[in-house]
Amino acid sequence: MSEERYDVVVVGAGPAGSITAKTAAERGLDVLLIERNPEIGVPVKCAEGVSKEIERFVDIDRRWICAGIRGTITYGPDGTKVILSAEGAEEVGYVLERKIFDKCLAQEAARAGAEVRVRTQAYGVVNDGGYVKGVYARTAAEAEEDIRISANVVVGADGVESQVGKWGGIDTTLRLADVATCAEFLMCDIEVNPEYCEIFFDDDVAPKGYAWVFPKGDHSANVGLGIGGDVSSETRCARDYLNAFAGGKFPNGKIIAEMYGAVPLSGPVYETVANGLILVGDAARHVNPITGGGILEAMQGGEIAGDVIAKAVQENDCSKRRLREYEKRWQKEFGKVLNAGLKTKNIVLGLSSQDLNSFFHALEGETIAKEFSERALLKEMIKRNPKILFKLVKMLF
């Protein structure tokens, strides 16, 4: 077994991992970013929609924008239409091409000084005196080889199925009820609304979840849905529901790609740091439970993690106590929105079809918010449904 040494090793080259690696490298650290797949950004497991808040973290490159969107249209079970857009904005968000977007973020990490390595899979962490001190990895880049990669800090950016946290002593197990199992088709030759992302709430279509149609330009779209993990079974899984939804909505459409995966909807349910260890992105459950979106949280959390890690390494203190600065900062930045999203999800998905229709009736029509964001969407839900969501008011105002 060969041995290598870095200040930081980041496991997983999605948005969270790449931004963490980039930020730590910019702060002067020796960083290794590893990805188990042979190509970063593939396979895609995402609806790819994001608000313009992304511009806080990256300069927009039109190469990885498939469509600009003016807002969202959400449908209740009886077809009630709720339109959300932003005041004075022709474009409030984007539908990304994650295959290109993720590669660009990894390239930025490399330009900042991080080493990026694909086809390299971590299979354990190095433990030393109660601290995580690196990872054991297997690379198949040329010939298969086992490597011990020593590091002051290990970053688990390995997604919803995160093993890094478990190896480091954090119980990352989720209940089936806290996971959405998802299926998505990239479809072409279909008529879609090219300016709005459409979302469909209906237990017959997607029990304990929702379906979506996100335009990708040229009469194509991501058509997908997620269902509660606790209602998925061998006889009725997300793909079965998607076949029915897509077949009914776009009977003449062509499927040119299929994608399957899971999304954590638990909210931040456990600690995200340990001695020598930080979790980011889906591994840290930084996904809004009501929308299933997590790209912005992944990027913001990655920036915070990279900054905290740099200071901890420079101070020669990578203890859990020192790394808790990361938890305090992400909790302050977006923790309240995640918790409000969780409470909203639990309320909305617990409603009967009749009550859910009433919920959407209160929101019916077009709402032009001052900003287009998850926070704005939750605020509108609360304002229009005060009896149902009153308990969330203090969390957001």
- Comparing 40 with 364, the larger pLDDT belongs to 40
Calpha distance 255→241 (Å, rounded): 15
Q: Take residue 60 and report the two structure tokens written for it.
A: 């927009």
pLDDT band at residue 397 using 50, 70 and 90 as cut-offs: very low
Predicted pLDDT at 210? 94
Q: Is the predicted pLDDT of residue 116 greater than 90, yes or no?
A: yes
Yes or no: say if 82 and 38 are a contact pair by the CB < 8 Å rule.
no
Predicted pLDDT at 212? 97
Q: Which residues, including other chains, have CB under 8 Å from residue 396's CB and lie 6 or more apart?
A: 336, 337, 340, 375, 378, 379, 382
- Which of 84-88, 138-142, 147-151 holds the top average pLDDT? 147-151
Average pLDDT over residues 342-368: 83
Domains and CATH numbers, the chain: 2-44+99-174+266-342 (3.50.50.60)
- Lowest-pLDDT range of 8-12, 29-33, 139-143, 333-337: 139-143
- Comparing 385 with 4, the larger pLDDT belongs to 4
Query: DSSP code of 262?
Result: E
Chain Cα centroid distance, residue 335: 14
Predicted pLDDT at 374? 63
Predicted pLDDT at 234? 82
Return the closest-CA partner of residue 349 out of 211, 183, 182, 210.
210
Average pLDDT over residues 40-56: 90
Residue pLDDT, tens place only, 271-306:
999 999 999 999 999 999 988 999 999 999 999 999
Its pTM stands at 0.92
Residue pLDDT, tens place only, 181-222:
999 999 999 999 999 999 999 999 999 999 999 999 999 999
Q: Is the predicted pLDDT of residue 359 greater than 90, yes or no?
A: no
Q: Strand order in 71-75's β-sheet? A: 254-264, 179-188, 220-228, 210-217, 196-200, 71-75, 81-86, 365-369
Predicted pLDDT at 390? 54
Q: Take residue 245 and report the two structure tokens written for it.
A: 């939804």
* Segments in 161-205 forming alpha helices (H): 164-167
